[in-house]
Amino acid sequence: MDLELKGAKVIVTGGASHIGQAIVFAFAHEGALIAIIDKDGSQAERTAKAARERGAPAVFVVEADLSDRVQGESACAKAIAELGGTDVLVTNVGSNRPDFFLELDPDGWQRTIDVNLTSVMACVRAVLPEMIKTRRGAIVSITSIAAFGEPRQSVYAAAKAGVIGFIKTIAREYGGRGIRANLVAPGLTLPEDPEAVGRHSLWNERDEIMNPAQTDYVVKNTALRRLSKAEDIANAVVFLASERAARQVTGELIAVSGGFGSR
């Protein structure tokens, strides 16, 4: 099925590494024009080069730390200028340091919220006027199944749950302006290619985040008895971004977790 995304102007935040990189590649295969916003400029440039080789006619890189609201809005404005507009925004940037709530440093709570929730608000605020002007656009935000409650994920879960509430509200507020807004909630998704992990990626400390015993627990509690791959999440994102495939889909959440916990 032709998703009719050829030439679409797409912004992907956190697009340099892992799931974000897979999302960029998926849009590249569709022939979209892409802007990657990421604080890891060198990794983003490597991803951009690979995306062009996969069929993207143009890929731009905007280096920014999206935990800073002002940087986020400015980066999106620059991406819109580079692309000459925007049809799709994918908010993928995120970060988490799993631990039990009482072990978390309260000084780090705000950064977790800023990276995972405030960044989404800032980028959506930046693209909405452009989408309203053209009366079309798709917003796809990456949340997490942790948003429904998982041990060692308290503050992260709170931020990701906030993303769900925010995007569902945006869908209702701006659907009449031709804008669709949806969510994808990945389950545990481990990077398989070292080239997909930049220097700022949390997966550089993989064993501290998810050791083999924890990974085994997730697999055993997943209906399909396997972990998601980055490409699985990317395919769901591209589907939701497509006006042809998902024209009547808004305010919805797709869990791509293999049925973890049978949610």
Catalytic residue ranges: 156
> Considering just the CA atoms, what is the radius of gyration of the chain in Å?
17
CA dihedral (104, 105, 107, 112) positive or negative? negative
CA distances from 178 to 54, 76, 100, 130, 169 (A): 30, 20, 42, 12, 15
Eight-state DSSP code of residue 84: T
In the sheet that holds 137-142, the strands lie side by side as 59-63, 33-38, 9-13, 88-91, 137-142, 179-186, 253-256
